[in-house]
Chain A
Amino acid sequence: MKNLSRRDFLKLSTNSLLALAGLLGLGNILRFLSYQYDPVPPSEFEIGPATDYPQNSHKVLAHIPAIVIHDQKGLRAMSLTCTHLGCTVEQRNFGFECPCHSSRYDINGKILKGPANTDLKKLRVVKSEDGQLHLFMT
């Protein structure tokens, strides 16, 4: 680079400036595209009074999606989102099956067959003072 002429130097610096501008421009476009206006989905749901969930019943809440089970062990809830790639699992006689890649879970959400390798997520249900149930996603 000893013999860099003035012309070559100018050309090199101009082109590097243009390249830098291009990179910055791309970065700016990425910033433009990454703005998220939509509200984040709620982490807590009001799911109605506790009387809607009598002993020995289970109720699917399709909009969450989750299932609330009330049995001998008490009131508990479970996410119905497959832990593999997020499809909603469907009820079968053995428990739950994912319609996308056929992962299977038992009634308690325990994994029976892959490709998923973790159990269905357990969700926290809390009864408030006025008897309303609250479901927490985290």
Chain B
Amino acid sequence: MFTTPKLTAKSTNPNFNRLAIALFVTIFLLFATLLNIPVAQASPQTQTGTPTPQATPTFDLQRLEKPVLDSTNTQQLKEGSLIYWGVCMACHGDRGQGLTEEWKGAFGKEDQNCWNVGCHGYDHPPQGFFIPKDKAMPAVAGMGSLTRFQNAQELHDFILANMPWWDPGKLTDEKTWQVTSYILSLKKVMPSKFELSATNASAIRTQDAVPPPANDRPAIFVLLGILTLAGVGMIAQELQRGQIRLPERPNFFHHLHPPTIPVLQARFRYTLGAGGLAILLCLVLLVTGILEMFYYIPTPEHAGVSVEVITSLVPFGGLIRNLHFWAAQALMIVASIHLLRIFLTGAYARHRRLNYLIGLGMLVLILLLDFTGYVLRWDEGIRWALVVGTNLLKTIPWVGGSLYQLAIGGPEPSHSTLERFYTWHIFVLTMGLIVLGGWHIFRVRRDGGVAVPPPHLRKDNNRISRFDLVRREMLIMGIAGLLLILIAILFPAPIERPITQASVDLHNARAPWFFLWVQQLLKLGNPFLWGVLTPVLLLVALAAIPYILPQTHESELGQWFPRGNRLAQILLIVIAVTIIILTILAILPTTQL
């Protein structure tokens, strides 16, 4: 039996605490540094400073001068104003009014009649050109202009393909974005301090101004600073506990744990904390996922745009989406590490085999959740993954056709497909994971906790209380949570332009990273054999290993690389290495043949 002082002595492992403090301080310092990085995001000011329109004189060379935008504007807008001035202004007007009589009046006398005689002909340097008499020179700003374009992306695509009309294609993609930005600011629909790009332009409408994006960075850093301070406070409390401890009453979280567990079960270097981290990540995914649902619209016309709105315009939207993305990727990795740990410690032996199977089922659900979530972006990045992934179903003999229809809800990927993937992602698979997860955790308790030898075979029979256990869990989760937020701030989740009718050339269409190994296998030939049968057989083999290959002896439990299940360990390492090699091969460029 244990006594309280003994427990406290265990709880203040100096190395553990020192490590934790060091981590917290490092993260805090990182935040502090980040605070000083100038953030290239908008402050909630209203409108860009377009050059102040002059009164309307009849002969005014001032209006023909280079526009000068002040430093509150983005570089993109400033460059755009120069391009507009040099290329577009002659026909579309200094205020985007088009080729009106009033605008012609601003030109020099000798230029005003050129439209009739073509004196902007090819001999009129530089870049002289004819203005076609039969073509209208439309206004690009003001009422009724740009109505044929819904958003900045469409306007950009049109300019890129058709402008300037005497030399289409003259503008590069980057320059086109600059001039698009300037035109939209003439039309007063361009949010201030907003850099247009292919990954946010679909969210910028041409007819109504969108509310400007808020600068949410300071709020994020303040919140993180407070959380980090609270973390430091928790560590300090830990250090204060010393020898005497007041009796504590267990709270809700304590009650989720057994009163005491063997210390052997609580060693981080044995469990790697993978199970607990997976729970944390699932909670993050649940909360951020629900928040995303407030803005996400599961229709082909709106899905990609709504993702851009969340990412670029909604306050904290980018952070929430990045958190969701990175938590999902981390969950995939943590779950894989968990599986590896179970194998390399032989923990799936005997009565734990059922829970192993449940865990394997959860891994499959996580893969499906990751894939369906990936497809919900509905942008150019997912197009071929969706086509390939669902076409693979077709290759299955007998049931392939029905499975395909079941998955995509029609003869080809369409709005039904998106609706189905949405329902699978946010409801069916999520519920499945919650149910299996609850069962998995219950089975861990029922099976006697993390696998260790029975009491009479243990080298160390000390136990730690749930108070210490919960504190450790909080500490690890706190550190992991802060790291996750840091990653979410520093590395944005991938996004591409929304899928439109006209397909865009992709330099390399890659599967999502967790399916890269399957993509590489598919290059070998028969899609059913390599894309369906091989992964399924692999899964069957994984499920069968505990029932076929020799298991660990119970005295060997609770340690890495026991002798009993060597064969299974070797097999799993071979599988893992193969998958990693295939993944690397898929990433390597293939064009250099």
Chain A positions near chain B (C-beta within 8 angstroms): 6-7, 10-11, 13-14, 17-18, 20-21, 24-25, 28-29, 31-33, 35-37, 39-40
* Given contacts A10-B240, A11-B237, A37-B309, A32 and B320 within 8 Å (CB-CB): yes
A103 to B210, CA, bound (A): 37
A18 to B219, CA, bound (A): 16
Residue of B nearest to A12 (CB): B233
Task: Give the contacting residue for B230; candidates A14, A29, A31, A33; CB below 8 A.
Answer: A14
Q: Could you tell me if B234 and A39 are in contact, using CB atoms closer than 8 angstroms?
A: no
Residue of A nearest to B314 (CB): A35
A21: chain B residues within 8 A (beta carbon): 223, 226-227, 230
Interface string of B193-235 (1 = CB under 8 A from A): 0000000000101011011001010011011001101100110
A35: chain B residues within 8 A (beta carbon): 211, 214, 313-315, 317
Q: Could you tell me if A14 and B211 are in contact, using CB atoms closer than 8 angstroms?
A: no
A17: chain B residues within 8 A (beta carbon): 226-227, 229-230, 233
Q: Could you tell me if A10 and B237 are in contact, using CB atoms closer than 8 angstroms?
A: yes
Q: Could you tell me if A31 and B233 are in contact, using CB atoms closer than 8 angstroms?
A: no
Q: How large is the interface on B (under 10, 10 to 19, 20 to 34, 35 or more residues)?
A: 20 to 34
Q: Could you tell me if A32 and B233 are in contact, using CB atoms closer than 8 angstroms?
A: no
Counting from the closest, the 9 A-B pairs by CB-CB distance are A14-B233, A39-B208, A17-B230, A35-B314, A31-B315, A21-B226, A32-B316, A10-B237, A7-B240
B229: chain A residues within 8 A (beta carbon): 17
CB distance from B561 to the nearest CB of A (A): 40
**Max chain A Cβ within 10 angstroms of own Cβ: one of B207, B216, B234:** B234
A31: chain B residues within 8 A (beta carbon): 214, 216, 219, 315-316
CB distance from B474 to the nearest CB of A (A): 11
Cβ of B294 within 8 Å of any chain A Cβ, yes or no, is: yes
Interface string of B546-574 (1 = CB under 8 A from A): 00000000000000000000000000000
A18: chain B residues within 8 A (beta carbon): 227, 230
B294: chain A residues within 8 A (beta carbon): 32-33
Given contacts A21-B227, A25-B223, 5 further A-B contacts (CB under 8 A): A17-B226, A17-B227, A24-B226, A32-B315, A32-B317
A25: chain B residues within 8 A (beta carbon): 223
Cβ of B236 within 8 Å of any chain A Cβ, yes or no, is: yes
A37 to B314, CA, bound (A): 8
Q: Could you tell me if B208 and A24 are in contact, using CB atoms closer than 8 angstroms?
A: no
Cβ of B407 within 8 Å of any chain A Cβ, yes or no, is: no
Q: Could you tell me if A29 and B226 are in contact, using CB atoms closer than 8 angstroms?
A: no
Q: Could you tell me if B223 and A7 are in contact, using CB atoms closer than 8 angstroms?
A: no
B64: chain A residues within 8 A (beta carbon): none
A20 to B222, CA, bound (A): 11
A47 to B573, CA, bound (A): 73
Residue of B nearest to A17 (CB): B230
CB distance from A86 to the nearest CB of B (A): 23
A31 to B216, CA, bound (A): 9
A40 to B240, CA, bound (A): 57
Residue of B nearest to A39 (CB): B208
